[in-house]
């Protein structure tokens, strides 16, 4: 089983992920992505879904029109792990393909 990151590890990892923030209590990280339209938002979600399935680590997310709100936590570990940081980095990379920073 993976272990949650320490407070310091989580804060250091977040410094490498602009736009991501720690949720109260440090049990999750989150980000809001706003795309140009629904097609871009759905395309982002599709690409991320394939990567998430491949890594067997799935986001908690919500889509309304062109906005995708994401919360990452490793439920089995009870907090943020390296798996969440890795998936956040993948999401950022995919978002850049759609012109988001």
What is the spatial distance between Cα 98 and Cα 101, in angstroms, rounded to a whole number?
A: 9
Domains of the chain: 27-97 (3.30.1360.20)
State yes or no: pLDDT of 1 exceeds 90. no
What is the spatial distance between Cα 97 and Cα 6, in angstroms, rounded to a whole number?
A: 31
Average pLDDT over every residue of 71-92: 97
What is the spatial distance between Cα 75 and Cα 58, in angstroms, rounded to a whole number?
A: 10
State yes or no: pLDDT of 39 exceeds 80. yes
Cβ atoms within 10 Å, residue 50: 11
Radius of gyration of the chain (CA): 13
What is the spatial distance between Cα 22 and Cα 28, in angstroms, rounded to a whole number?
A: 6
pLDDT value at residue 101: 81
- Cβ burial of 99 (10 Å; 0-12, 13-18, 19+) is exposed
State yes or no: pLDDT of 88 exceeds 80. yes
pTM of the model: 0.96
């Amino acid at each position: 089983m993976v272990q949650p990151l320490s407070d310091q590890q989580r804060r250091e990892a977040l410094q490498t992920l602009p736009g991501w923030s720690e949720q109260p209590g440090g049990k999750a990280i989150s980000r809001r992505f706003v795309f140009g339209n629904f097609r871009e938002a759905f395309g982002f979600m599709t690409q991320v879904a394939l990567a998430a399935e491949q890594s067997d680590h799935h986001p908690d997310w919500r889509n309304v029109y062109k906005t995708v709100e994401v919360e990452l936590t490793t439920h089995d570990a009870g907090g943020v792990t390296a798996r969440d940081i890795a998936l956040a980095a993948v999401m950022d990379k995919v978002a850049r393909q759609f012109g988001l920073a």
